[in-house]
């Protein structure tokens, strides 16, 4: 079939960049419309649909897949590692003293004062004896399920580009996010919901907005669909003044028009693909409201998450956590869940960017995140979902062990920060990598975000070097030209 002529060409000179593992998807996406288009439009009922011709069937993954689906919790604004999970006794001891070399240190907003210990105490938790700050009592109870990475480093010290890097691998806008890559590689697990969903925080959109769940240059099919309890998917409701019967009749008539048109234009498969798209849309209209309907949840579950809280933001994030679980249960492949919103007139007001008043800010943000996130882990586990669901907890970079000149907050620090994983294929009760004695700079087992992404793909069964898409002259990867799998993290 010479449709292949629109396929990215094979490059003889460097066989490594060509990736026939994904040629099916490349073929489908390049076809754009037609059977391919509709298959990509998340019509596949099963991962390896028997109805697909064998030549389009997905090739073997490079590794056995541990994770089938992912939930990525993202805390925008840069969560301080020093007030949450990265315990540094030396920082407490030398509180108020100068950090060696600090006088020359210029960070994002300028100069730095003395070392500043966390305003919260620290205790050891679980069988693993992990130190966690008193800021997060509920999550502290989950440490035996978590694998921490304390030695992450980011390429940018600015929220916008750094968030893009954590989500897309690049500090520039316009690249596909991890969720888009995942669904591009693996397709969907359901037939009537999007494969990739983003749930923004009740306080508003994250920095960069939809660029965080963009499909970049991948076909629009792979973009994240924003979801909330109020409005599951845009344009889901039929127009005012119509009812389901009249809408059914309207779609029936539309199908007649399209079938008739198709008869006059044989040999154009995209025309029939569009007919299929309307059928799928009708199914989505039925299933998406069901997915967001929390009234089916037991009072015990609502309480577990804290969805009964009188604080609307806390209850809002708790409901988002329940929604995330319901979507995962219904076969959504990748959920991005935000805890924190965009910047506001005051730093640290709506997200974790505590430049000036760390204590006050985190006393507001931490309780919003703590209980619901812990409940989500617990709930996934008791339902058996944690077996093949990978949970990621991420932020864009860390914060300084010193206080910012003239304030009681911490400036940006991309030199060392913490993220954790839990669930499918990941060691539990495990910590990897270290920052220095003050928690400033990653010094042991230093990791990049590329490494983090390579590890995530590995858990999905994918070799990060083989997941490519041709765009503007390069076979692009989530990991650019970098990335090493953090194998010690794998169970």
Number of residues that bind other proteins (CB under 8 A): 102
Residues of this chain, 158-187, that bind other proteins according to CB under 8 A: 158-161, 163-164, 171-175
Residues of this chain, 423-442, that bind other proteins according to CB under 8 A: none
Contact status: 106 vs other proteins (CB under 8 A):
yes
Q: What are phi and psi of 151, to 5 degrees?
A: -120, 30
Contact status: 109 vs other proteins (CB under 8 A):
yes
Between residues 80 and 156, which has the closer beta carbon with respect to other proteins? 156
Contact status: 413 vs other proteins (CB under 8 A):
no
Contact status: 3 vs other proteins (CB under 8 A):
yes
Closest CA to 413 of 112, 211, 1: 112
- What's the CA gap between 360 and 354, in Å, rounded? 9
* Strands 412-413 and 417-423, sheet pairing: unpaired
Stretch in the footprint of other proteins (CB under 8 A) among 137-145, 152-160, 299-307, 431-439: 152-160
Question: How many Cβ atoms are within 10 Å of 408's Cβ, its own excluded?
Answer: 17
- What's the CA gap between 199 and 316, in Å, rounded? 11
Between residues 331 and 423, which has the closer beta carbon with respect to other proteins? 331
Stretch in the footprint of other proteins (CB under 8 A) among 35-43, 118-126, 367-375, 381-389: 35-43
- What's the CA gap between 53 and 35, in Å, rounded? 11
SS3 state at 220: helix
Contact status: 38 vs other proteins (CB under 8 A):
yes
- What's the CA gap between 117 and 82, in Å, rounded? 8
Contact status: 156 vs other proteins (CB under 8 A):
yes
Contact status: 470 vs other proteins (CB under 8 A):
yes
Among positions 101, 266, 299, 384, the unique one binding other proteins when judged by CB under 8 A = 266
The terminus-to-terminus CA distance of the chain in angstroms comes to 44
Among positions 21, 22, 23, 40, the unique one binding other proteins when judged by CB under 8 A = 40
SS3 state at 245: helix
418 DSSP 8-state letter: E
Phi-psi label, residue 379: left if phi above 0, alpha if psi -120 to 50, beta otherwise: alpha
Query: Smallest distance from the beta carbon of 154 to other proteins, in angstroms?
Result: 12
Contact status: 475 vs other proteins (CB under 8 A):
yes
Say how many CA atoms lie within 13 Å of 218 toward its Cβ: 31
Between residues 48 and 172, which has the closer beta carbon with respect to other proteins? 172
Residues of this chain, 276-295, that bind other proteins according to CB under 8 A: 276-278, 280-281, 284-285
Residues of this chain, 316-345, that bind other proteins according to CB under 8 A: 342-345
Query: Smallest distance from the beta carbon of 40 to other proteins, in angstroms?
Result: 7
Closest CA to 25 of 222, 174, 275: 222
Query: Smallest distance from the beta carbon of 395 to other proteins, in angstroms?
Result: 14
Query: Smallest distance from the beta carbon of 243 to other proteins, in angstroms?
Result: 10
Query: Smallest distance from the beta carbon of 34 to other proteins, in angstroms?
Result: 8
- What's the CA gap between 220 and 180, in Å, rounded? 9
Query: Smallest distance from the beta carbon of 108 to other proteins, in angstroms?
Result: 6
For residue 181, give every residue at least 6 positions away whose Cβ sits within 8 Å of its Cβ, in sequence order, or none.
218, 222, 457, 467, 478
Between residues 256 and 308, which has the closer beta carbon with respect to other proteins? 256
Among positions 97, 124, 244, 268, the unique one binding other proteins when judged by CB under 8 A = 268
Q: Under a CB-based contact definition with an 8 Å cutoff, are residues 379 and 114 in contact?
A: no
Question: What is the helix (H) or strand (E) element at residue 448, kind and residue range?
Answer: strand 447-448
Stretch in the footprint of other proteins (CB under 8 A) among 91-99, 260-268, 362-370, 423-431: 260-268
Contact status: 407 vs other proteins (CB under 8 A):
no
469 DSSP 8-state letter: E
Contact status: 357 vs other proteins (CB under 8 A):
no
- At 106, list the tokens: 């210029």
Query: Smallest distance from the beta carbon of 490 to other proteins, in angstroms?
Result: 29
Among positions 143, 233, 415, 456, the unique one binding other proteins when judged by CB under 8 A = 233
SS3 state at 145: helix
Strands in 83-199 per DSSP E: 112-115, 122-125, 130-133, 146-153, 196-199
Partnered with residue 112 across adjacent β-strands are: 404
Query: Smallest distance from the beta carbon of 285 to other proteins, in angstroms?
Result: 8
Contact status: 237 vs other proteins (CB under 8 A):
yes
Contact status: 230 vs other proteins (CB under 8 A):
no
Helices 269-292/244-264 angle, 10° precision: 160
Contact status: 37 vs other proteins (CB under 8 A):
yes
Residues of this chain, 203-222, that bind other proteins according to CB under 8 A: 204-205, 207-211, 214, 216-217, 219-221
Contact status: 256 vs other proteins (CB under 8 A):
yes
Among positions 62, 108, 357, 465, the unique one binding other proteins when judged by CB under 8 A = 108
Site string for other proteins, 9-28 (x = CB under 8 A): x-xxxxx-x-----------
Among positions 92, 93, 98, 257, the unique one binding other proteins when judged by CB under 8 A = 257
Partnered with residue 148 across adjacent β-strands are: 420, 431
Helices 312-329/269-292 angle, 10° precision: 130
Between residues 78 and 322, which has the closer beta carbon with respect to other proteins? 78
Closest CA to 66 of 389, 432, 488: 389
Contact status: 110 vs other proteins (CB under 8 A):
yes
- What's the CA gap between 117 and 87, in Å, rounded? 10
């Amino acid at each position: 079939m010479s449709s292949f002529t629109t396929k990215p060409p094979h490059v003889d000179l460097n066989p490594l960049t060509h990736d026939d593992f994904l040629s099916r998807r490349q073929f489908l996406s390049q076809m754009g419309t037609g059977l391919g288009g509709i298959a990509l439009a998340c019509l596949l009922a099963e991962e390896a649909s028997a109805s697909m011709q064998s030549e389009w069937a997905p090739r073997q993954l490079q590794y056995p897949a541990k994770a089938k689906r992912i939930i990525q919790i993202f805390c925008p604004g840069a969560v301080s590692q020093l007030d949450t999970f990265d315990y540094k006794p030396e920082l407490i001891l030398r509180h108020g003293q100068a950090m060696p070399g600090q006088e020359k240190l210029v960070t994002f907003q300028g100069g730095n004062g003395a070392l500043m210990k966390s305003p919260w105490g620290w205790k050891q938790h679980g069988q693993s004896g992990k130190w966690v700050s008193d800021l997060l009592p509920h999550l502290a109870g989950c440490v035996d399920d978590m694998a921490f990475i304390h030695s992450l480093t980011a390429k940018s010290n600015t929220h916008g580009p750094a968030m893009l890097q954590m989500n897309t691998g690049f500090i520039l806008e316009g690249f596909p996010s991890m969720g888009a890559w995942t669904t591009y590689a693996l397709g969907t697990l359901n037939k009537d919901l999007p494969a990739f969903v983003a749930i923004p925080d009740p306080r508003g959109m994250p920095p960069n907005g939809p660029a965080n769940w963009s499909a970049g240059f991948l076909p629009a099919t792979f973009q994240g669909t924003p979801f909330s309890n109020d409005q599951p998917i845009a344009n889901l409701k039929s127009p005012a003044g119509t009812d389901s019967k009249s809408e059914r009749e309207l779609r029936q008539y539309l199908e007649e028009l399209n079938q008739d048109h198709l008869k006059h234009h044989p040999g154009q498969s995209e025309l029939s693909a569009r007919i299929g798209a309307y059928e799928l849309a009708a199914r989505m209209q039925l299933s998406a409201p069901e997915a967001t309907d929390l009234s089916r949840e037991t009072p015990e579950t609502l309480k577990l998450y804290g969805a009964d809280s009188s604080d609307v933001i806390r209850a809002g994030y708790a409901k988002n956590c329940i929604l995330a679980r319901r979507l995962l249960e219904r076969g959504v492949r990748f959920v991005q869940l935000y805890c924190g919103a965009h910047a506001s007139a005051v730093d640290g007001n709506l997200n974790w960017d505590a430049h000036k008043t760390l204590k006050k800010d985190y006393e507001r943000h931490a309780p919003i995140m703590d209980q619901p996130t812990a409940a989500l882990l617990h709930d996934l586990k008791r339902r058996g979902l944690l077996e093949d669901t990978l949970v990621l907890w991420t932020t864009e970079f860390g914060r300084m062990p010193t206080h910012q000149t003239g304030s009681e907050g911490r400036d940006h620090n991309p030199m060392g920060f913490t993220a954790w994983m839990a669930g499918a294929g990941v060691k539990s009760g495990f910590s990897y990598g270290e920052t220095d004695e003050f928690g400033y700079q990653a010094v042991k087992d230093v990791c990049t975000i590329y490494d983090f992404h390579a590890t995530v793909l590995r858990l999905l069964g994918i070799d990060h070097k083989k997941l490519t898409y041709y765009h503007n002259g390069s076979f692009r990867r989530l990991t650019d030209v970098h990335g090493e799998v953090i194998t010690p993290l794998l169970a």
